[in-house]
Amino acid sequence: DSTLDSRLPNPRQSVLWSDELLGGSRSGEVRDGAFKGWMLENKSRVIRRAVGASSRPMSVTSFLAFIGSSNIQQLLGSPAAQRRCPIPRTWQTLELVHGSPHVFVGGDMVLLANSANDPAFFLHHCFIDYIWETWRQAKQVKQQDRESEYPRDDSRCSSAAHFARAPMLPFSPMLNIDGLSNEYTGSFYLLIISIGTLGDPPAHTTIAIADRGKPHKLSACVCL
């Protein structure tokens, strides 16, 4: 839940990037923390980060703006839409909102080909799944709506690869719309409310950190 780090005066000094947890607070190859020396899948080098060099973690404001919207056409809209796309453009699409933490972590997390090589990728996308399911439970009351409501196919708004019945590569024969199945939260995992999006984290889950001599508290939430 990167909204926790967004409240710090300097998010790059979060304990999350310390040797105690994920490591990699210094720009370059990750040489400390739980994933020190973690290699790319092709074994060519150690993963790299540049935490805090650009952007910021997701803010609570962005989270609430997304959850508060009701237009699935806009929420799942393509950030690469053409000018003639009839869907109004907004910065609150899930794709754009999810991108800021990628840029904040930097290094391989910014590179499409390498992003999933950093274990931080999976923690971040676990939170994105949480945001999506929170929205579904709040805005899609009927179970049947969840499996059928999908942005309309329009080449002016997105690539045909994102159309509802396009193959969900590399998971053929699944289709993109199959990703809306209720089976995921019905059979495979449960939605647990994040303390980060509810207000100040409770004291028993906090880790004290120092930011230029001033103590702060940050909840250590890990989603696996």
Contacts 24+ apart (CB under 8 A), 211-217: 211/8, 211/9, 211/10, 211/13, 212/9, 212/10, 214/9, 216/8, 216/9
What is the pLDDT at residue 88?
76
Low-confidence stretches of the chain (pLDDT < 50) are 201-224
Q: Cβ neighbours of residue 40 under 8 Å, at least 6 residues apart?
A: 46, 47, 108, 114, 117
Where in the chain are the domains? 2-148
Backbone dihedral angles phi then psi of residue 187, each to the nearest 5 degrees = -125, -30
Q: Residues 144-186: pLDDT tens digits? A: 788 989 988 998 988 899 999 999 999 999 999 999 998 888 8
Looking at domain 2-148, its CATH superfamily turns out to be Di-copper center containing domain from catechol oxidase (1.10.1280.10)
Those residues whose C-beta lies under 8 Å from the C-beta of residue 42, and which sit 6 or more positions away, are none
d(CA 212, CA 219) in angstroms, rounded, equals 19
- Confidence (pLDDT) at 57: 93
pTM listed for this prediction: 0.82
